[in-house]
Structure 1
Amino acid sequence: MPLVDTILSALWGITLESWSLFLEMAPYLFLGFTVAGLLHIFVPEEKIIKYLGESAGKIRSSLNASLMGIPIPLCSCGVVPTALSLQKRGATKGATLSFLISTPETGVDSISITYALLDPIMTVFRPLATLITALSAGIAENFLGKEKRTVALNKTAENKIPLNNNLLMTQPTAACEDSSCSCHVPSDNTELSGSQRLKEGMKYAYVELLGDISKWLVFGIVIAGIISYAVPYEVVHTYLGGGILSMLVMLLVGIPLYICATASTPLAAAFIAKGMSPGTAFVFLLAGPATNAATITMVTKFLGKRSAVLYLTTIAVCSLIFGLVLDMIYFRLGVEAISIVGSASEILPAQVKIVFALILIPLMIYGIYKH
C-alpha cells in the first residue's frame, strides 16, 4: 500500500534524524548535568542573598543576580518562586527581575548543547546576550521602579511562597502545575559528608533534573527531527531567512510558548540547517525560554504590571537587537551558519557519542515514567 509505505518511510526518516540529533547532544548533555549537580551541592546558597540586596547597590545587585542565574538550570516557570523567594529575603526588585531573565535563558546544560549543536560563536554569544538583557532589565527596574512596594510584595509573597533554605530550588506554587520545571525541593545536605553530598548532587542532576526536562527534551528533539526531515530548505530560507520581519515572527512564537533552554536548542539548530538566519533563530533562543504565559501571569501578580511590562519589553527589544547583531557578526566574519552548525561535536568519535546516548536513554525513560 503506497500510503502505508509513505507513512512508514516518513516515520523512519524522522526517527533517524532525531536519533542523529540526540547522538550529537548526548556527551554535552551529560557534561551539563554533571556541572549542574556540582553547583547544586557546592553553591553557598545561604550567603548569596547579601550580594543581591540594597546594600550591594542598584547596579551591582542586578549584575550579581544576572551572573548567578546564568549557570542554574531552571525553566521559566520554576524560576518564578525561586526569584520571589530571593526578593522576600531582601533582594532588590531589579535583582529579582535580572534573575528571572538570566536563569531560564541559559544553563550549564543548554550552553554545552549549544556548543554541540550550533557553533562556538553562538555558544559565546548566547550567555553574553542573556547577561546584558537581564542586567538591562534589572538596572532599569532599580532606577525607574518604586522599591517601597517591596514591603507589600514581601508580605504577599510570604503567604504565597513557602520558605526553604535552598534558594536555588524553592518549591513553586501556582507557577508550576506539573513536574517539568526543575523546581523540586531537595533535601538539606548541609550535614552530609563529602561523598554523601556528591551522591546527593548526582541524584539531583541525573534523576530529578534530567527527569524534569526529559519529556520536553524528547519533544524538542522529535520536533527538530520532523523539521529536518519534512520542511523544505526553500520554505524556511524564503520566509524566515532573516530580517526584522522574520525575527518578529519568531518573537511572537517564542514569548507565550513554554520551552526550556535545553529543548529550544535542537529546534534552533534544525531551523538554521533549513536556511533560517542565525539571528532569527537566536530571537527564539532568547525569548522562548525566558517567558511563557504562566510566567507572565505570575510576574504581573507578584511584581506588578509595570514590572511585567518592563520584563517583556526588555526581552523583546534585546532579542531583536541581538538577533540583528548576530546576523551582522556572521556576515562580517564571512561565516555561513548552515555550514558550521554542529561542527563542534565532530571532535568526538561516534563511539563516544553512542556510549553517552545509551547512558542517558534509561535515565530519561525513568525520569519520564517517574514524573
Structure 2
Amino acid sequence: MTANRLEAEEIDWTPAAAPPPPPPARRPRRFGSLEILALLLVLLVVLRSWLAGLVTGERLQTWTTVFVSVLVQAVPFLVFGVVLSAVIAVYVPKSFWAKALPKHPALAVPAAGLAGVILPGCECGSVPIAGSLIRRGVTPAAALAFLLAAPAINPIVLTATAVAFPGNPEMVVARGGASLVVAVAMGWLWLRLGKTEWIRLPHRPDLDGASKAQAFWSSCRHDVTHAGGYLVLGAAAAATINVVVPGEWLQRLADNPVLSILALAVLAVLLSICSEADAFVAASLSQFSLTSRLVFLVVGPMVDLKLIAMQTGVFGRRFVQRFAPATFVAAILVGTAAGAVLL
C-alpha cells in the first residue's frame, strides 16, 4: 500500500489549480469639488429667505447686483466653451495636429496661433491640450502659441467680449489682434531661445484606458468645477472692488494712464478669471480707460495664478519661471500699443 502511494505521488505532476483572484477592491467614494458645489447650491436654495433678509444694506445690495450680473452673463459662455473644449480634446484624432500644421517650425507657430480661432476653449483646457500636442510630436513653439492664442481669440471669447462691450466693437478687434500677436511672438521667442529640457512632458493617468464618453464627461466635470470656481471668485472680487474701494481712489488710479494699465494687468493675474467670462468683469470696471481694460483682457488668458499653477504641473517649474514673466511683459506692451492705435 505504501509503495503504491509513493508511486502515485511520483506520477501525479499535475499542478494544483491557482486560487481565483480576489475581487477588485472598490475605490471609496470621495466627496469632491462637484459634491461640494452641489451641497452649496442646495444650501442656498434652502436658506434663500434667511439670506435675503441679510441683503438689506445699500452697499450689500450693490455688491449682490454686480456679483449676480457678472455670473448670469458669463456662465452660459463658460459652459458652452467647456463642452466644446471637451469635444475637441476627446474626439479630434490624435494625429490631426501633426498633419495639419506646417512642417517648418517657424511657419507652424502662426498656424497654431490662428487655429485658436476655430477651436473654442478656455485656458483651463488649453494647458493640457498644449501638453498633449508636445507629447504627440508638435514642436513646442507651436504648441505654446496655441496655448496662448486659443483662450483669447476663439469665437466664444470674442462674442462674449462683444456682448460685454456693446458700444465698443473695436474692443473685439483690439483683443483678438493683440492676443494673436503676443501668442505668435512668444512662440517665435521660444523657438529662438527655448530649450527642450525646460519642459516636462505631461501625463494624464486618469484618462488612460477610459472610453471617449468617460473622458468627455471627466473633462467637462474638471473644467466646470475649476473654471467655475475661479469665475465665482472673480465675480466676487469685481463686486468687492466696486463697493469697498472708494470711488475717488479708483478714479485717481484710473486717471493715471501708466498706473491704470499696470494695476489692471496685476489684477488680471490675481483674479484668474476664465477667458469666457473676463470681459464682463472688465466691463464692470468702468472707471478705467478702454486701453487699460484691454490690457486686462490680453494678460488674463495668458498669465494668471491658476495658469501658473497648471503650467507648473504640466510643463515644470523651470518652464514657468521663464515663460510666465516674458509673456506678462509682452502682453502689457502689445495690449497698450493696440489700445493706443485702435481704441
TM-score (norm 1): 0.62
Given the superposition, is the C-alpha separation of residues 134 and 295 from structure 1 closer, same or farther in structure 2, using an over 3 Å criterion? same
Given the superposition, is the C-alpha separation of residues 79 and 281 from structure 1 closer, same or farther in structure 2, using an over 3 Å criterion? same
Query: 1:62: Cα distance to partner?
Result: 0.7
Identity, in percent, stands at 23
| Bigger Rg, structure 1 or 2 | 2
Q: How does 1:180-329 map to 2 (within 5 A)?
A: 187-189=210-212, 207-241=221-255, 243-255=257-269, 258-271=272-285, 273=286, 275-291=287-303, 292=305, 293-294=308-309, 297=312, 301=316, 304=319, 309=322, 312-329=325-342
> 1:82 is matched with which residue?
129
Given the superposition, is the C-alpha separation of residues 314 and 207 from structure 1 closer, same or farther in structure 2, using an over 3 Å criterion? closer
Query: 1:132: Cα distance to partner?
Result: 1.3
Question: 1:134 pairs with 180, 183, 189, which one?
Answer: 183
> 1:354 is matched with which residue?
none
Task: Give yes or no for contact 1:217–1:262 (8 Å, CA) kept in 2.
Answer: no
Given the superposition, is the C-alpha separation of residues 61 and 163 from structure 1 closer, same or farther in structure 2, using an over 3 Å criterion? farther
Query: 1:117: Cα distance to partner?
Result: 1.6
> 1:100 is matched with which residue?
147
Task: Give yes or no for contact 2:131–2:315 (8 Å, CA) kept in 1.
Answer: no
Give, in whole Å, the separation in 2 of the partners of 1:281 and 1:186.
Answer: 44
Q: How does 1:51-62 map to 2 (within 5 A)?
A: 51-52=100-101, 56-62=103-109
1:310-333 per-position Cα deviation (integer Å, ceiling 9, x unaligned):
553244133233224324422xxx
Give, in whole Å, the separation in 1 of the partners of 2:228 and 2:208.
Answer: 18
Give, in whole Å, the separation in 1 of the partners of 2:60 and 2:316.
Answer: 44
Give, in whole Å, the separation in 2 of the partners of 1:222 and 1:303.
Answer: 33
Query: 1:133: Cα distance to partner?
Result: 0.8
TM-score (norm 2): 0.66
SS at match of 1:290: coil
Given the superposition, is the C-alpha separation of residues 186 and 207 from structure 1 closer, same or farther in structure 2, using an over 3 Å criterion? farther
Computed over aligned residues only, the root mean square deviation of the Cα atoms, in angstroms, reads: 3.8
Query: 1:304: Cα distance to partner?
Result: 4.8
Task: Give yes or no for contact 1:242–1:277 (8 Å, CA) kept in 2.
Answer: no
Give, in whole Å, the separation in 2 of the partners of 1:280 and 1:185.
Answer: 43
Unaligned stretches of 5+ in structure 1?
165-170, 172-183, 190-196, 331-371
Provide the aligned length of Structure 1 versus Structure 2.
285
1:117-138 per-position Cα deviation (integer Å, ceiling 9, x unaligned):
2243222322322211111111
1:258-279 per-position Cα deviation (integer Å, ceiling 9, x unaligned):
43323433321111x2x10111
The answer as to 2:37 corresponding to 1:22 is no
Give, in whole Å, the separation in 1 of the partners of 2:78 and 2:314.
Answer: 30
Give, in whole Å, the separation in 2 of the partners of 1:35 and 1:217.
Answer: 18
Q: How does 1:321-360 map to 2 (within 5 A)?
A: 321-330=334-343
Give, in whole Å, the separation in 2 of the partners of 1:109 and 1:223.
Answer: 23
Task: Give yes or no for contact 2:198–2:319 (8 Å, CA) kept in 1.
Answer: no
Unaligned stretches of 5+ in structure 2?
1-52
> 1:10 is matched with which residue?
59
